[in-house]
Amino acid sequence: MIVVSDTSPILNLSIVGRLELLRSLFGKIVLPPWVAAELGRHQIEVEASWMRVVSAQDRAQLTELRQQLDPGEAEAIIVALELQASLILIDEQRGPSRCGGSGSGIHGTARRILGSEGARSYIRMQADA
């Protein structure tokens, strides 16, 4: 399964000390370069063992989408479409509506993580520890 992430899901989970949820749920995730750079500005290291940086190839489509969305969000959507990702993680409201007909699963971080049986098991284990 290919999972592409925008900055917000990673940043928000890092802030609450639960970045490992993404790794435990998905194994590996794909980040566009803009997202990787934004993470760096927040002192979040892109970990090559489970985060892969992939550039969008369709520059014209990327330029067009950037007129409507945040650059990282736009790039995440284009990369997800190009890789035919199974899932794209975006927390902002405008981004998911731009992917509507793409066939990619669009989920906000909390909905995806809390709706996952693996995450519920992980959370129960953490609570019992």
Q: What is the DSSP string of 39-95?
A: HHHTT----TTTEEE---S-HHHHHHHHTTS-HHHHHHHHHHHHHT-SEEE--SSHH
pLDDT recorded at residue 14: 92
Q: Which domain holds residue 108?
A: 3-128
Number of structural domains in the chain: 1
Q: What is the mean pLDDT of residues 76-104?
A: 69
Confidence of residue 109 (pLDDT cuts 50, 70, 90): very low
CATH of the domain at 44: 3.40.50.1010
Residue among 105, 100, 104 at smallest CA distance from 116: 105
Residue among 94, 119, 93, 89 at smallest CA distance from 106: 89
* Chain position carrying tokens 């990327």: 62
Q: In whole angstroms, what is the distance from residue 35 CA to residue 6 CA?
A: 6
Contacts of 96-105 spanning 24+ positions with Cβ under 8 A: 98/65, 98/68, 98/69, 102/77, 104/80
Residue 47 has pLDDT above 60, yes or no: yes
pLDDT recorded at residue 93: 52
Residue among 21, 1, 12, 16 at smallest CA distance from 118: 21
Q: How large a percentage of the chain has pLDDT more than 90?
A: 40
What the block records as the tokens of 45 is 């290291």
Q: What is the mean pLDDT of residues 71-96?
A: 81
